[in-house]
Amino acid sequence: MANKKLKDDYKNNIKPYQPKPNYLVNCTRAFIIGGIICTIGEALTKFYTTVFHFSDKEAGNPTVATLVILSALLTGLGIYDKLGQYAGAGSAVPVTGFANSMTSAAMEHRSEGIVLGVATNMFKLAGSVIVFGVVGAYIVGLIRYTLKLLM
């Protein structure tokens, strides 16, 4: 009980010193940066459909791969982290944020070696995203298959 009172006292004491988040500015930044990333993705799709004569569906995979490579490169150069601090969720939500999380974890543990450092820790954050994505897709597939059988 005393521990809870200490936590409450601490929260009340530091409240006047904490900066107030500007939600409008944060949302605007996230929207603009996320939109720019998606616009780059659309431009890449247009590039692949025009230059390589892919269909829109076929251009999807190289577009995602290019965005992942660019994000990993910018993370390695330290640029994507600054972008993430500025844009918040606008840089974390697209596939580039996924690539950033994997690259950051790999870079953080590179001193421990390739196997025990990079390979072991690279999927710490991204692993849960992959697992829940696969499980979610499996469940949706089962539901769709069941509904198709019933109709």
pLDDT digits (tens, 9 = 90+) for 14-48: 888 888 888 999 999 999 999 999 999 999 999 99
pLDDT reported for residue 1? 57
Ranges of each domain in the chain: 2-108
124 pLDDT above the threshold of 80:
no
Cβ neighbours of residue 91 closer than 8 Å, sequence gap 6 or more: 30, 33, 34, 37, 80, 83, 84, 97, 100
DSSP annotation of 93: S
Average confidence score pLDDT of the chain: 87
pLDDT reported for residue 120? 74
